[in-house]
Copies of this chain bind each other. A is one copy, B any other.
């Protein structure tokens, strides 16, 4: 039977099932294969808050959204084309994301009475059986049954057999999107190298799914998403937290410093710790402290010792670090603080994304305690941004807060990675007795024209000195209660941070003209949605531009100049309005807030609609 193949520019697939159904892995494997096909990619996993919420319930649904395309894309996308629903709850939780005419791949075994009850379908009425799905194309597969049948002779127990279920769906999808199984087979072979029966079972089920598509009569259309016109080069797929971790290792090596990472586990920051702990052969020291305060203090101690101390957490953990960060501000030593933001306040929505810790980053300490704040805007950008954070921290002897978020941290995209040698060296401002002594005395708080003091670390002869959290004399660093000295030091600490604006790139316009009707200016993970929305509007002939702020403190020197050439400035944020506060406080301009506080990223459509509303 001939099957028709249809070309598509981009497709969004949402894999959804119980936490135990392996949807994250399924999604990742599809992602990897798509990457090999040269697609541009953006992904977004969405975990339940519980480890394993009750089987079959909406709360227990785990999702993985994959957007792959033959064009440039910047977000995991708005409208889902294919929804894989391993059970009734998965359908219920995600149907609203499916576009009209979209496809539902339903595992019928997940729609039995029990599952329908757990998913709270009225009267245990299956949506597969009534008319509620009329607007969609429904493909029913009895995945469980077919998996079992495929493995009837495998000798494996039911539990192990059932664990292969996700491979069936994956195989079927590979067929649907015209992809080979090769890459996934390789993966399975490596992963289960020591368990040949499991390996074989997985491959068998994978193939069964594929063959099912190939042979079954009902499935006549296949889709093809051609490779994107990405710049030529070598690519890998990268997740945000992973990029942050390897960026740190690279930065430390580029500074020729040891990397010390003090952290206490917390979602969604922990994966950075996990990733770093895997790279001990790079000399990385990971220290799982007893709490966040110990973590940041240990990192300060490591920095005092001449390593680059890094600490990471998420909102509530960062709140705990405030006092110690103030100490680092006083000590004027390098310290990188990573906040992978999540939904707040308090414990909030720990597995959801949010950008609501910006004000905490700027102000969450006692006294006048300025530091540098910087934010990556996509998974691969984490790599470059964390290196930049580390560079500023080391070269300017100042704590730097790096604001990632759950969306970036767990999302992934293809990355045309750089060669190590192309990454700039980082130059610590080390003291040494030769140059640093003035008539035999060492003045640890003497500064250069950037207002940066020297870094004298234990072991350096004749440079012994004492530092601390009390106000310090502007030159000797000794404790000083002198009123004028205090004012001077408060101003100097501020000015030192402000002057960093001389060492960062000017704010550029991301796309569009440098003047027009509306400038969309965001920070962090709103980048992709804004990018897509503005691109579409420009294509439609509107005078809309996009800029995106990476340096949140200090701002680029020309920020106001960039903004003032637009009639309106729109600031989309996944919070109740924080960047806009900083901008309004500083510049003579009233920007327009656009806020979403749902624990979810913006869709490009939301931004586009807002822009259209403002344009009309």
Contact = CB atoms under 8 A, between A and B. Distances in A.
A563 to B, nearest CB: 15
A11 B413 CA distance: 73
Interface in A331-369: 343-352, 354, 356-357, 359-360, 362-369
A470 B316 CA distance: 12
Interface stretch (A209-217, A255-263, A503-511, A584-592): A584-592
Contacts of A571: none
B368 A599 contact: no
Interface stretch (A178-186, A422-430, A479-487, A516-524): A479-487
A327 B316 CA distance: 10
Interface stretch (A37-45, A165-173, A317-325): A317-325
Given A343-B486, A346-B327, A491 B576 contact: yes
Interface in A469-514: 469-471, 479, 481, 483-484, 486-487, 490-491, 493-494
Contacts of A347: 327, 330, 468-470
Contact of A349 (B327, B357, B470, B493): B470
A317 B345 CA distance: 20
A329 interface: yes
* Secondary structure type dominating chain A contacts: mixed
A4 B302 CA distance: 70
Contacts of A470: 49, 346-350
Interface string A574-616: 0110000110111010100000111110000000000000000
A330 B350 CA distance: 14
B322 A364 contact: yes
A319 B322 contact: yes
Best-surrounded residue of A326, A344, A349, A598 (most CB of chain B within 10 A): A344
Contacts of A352: 481, 483, 486
Given A320-B320, A346-B366, A356-B368, 11 more contacts: A316-B326, A317-B323, A318-B366, A322-B322, A327-B347, A344-B369, A349-B481, A352-B486, A356-B367, A483-B599, A491-B597
Interface of A: 48-49, 59, 293, 314-320, 322-323, 326-327, 329-330, 343-352, 354, 356-357, 359-360, 362-369, 468-471, 479, 481, 483-484, 486-487, 490-491, 493-494, 575-576, 581-582, 584-586, 588, 590, 596-600
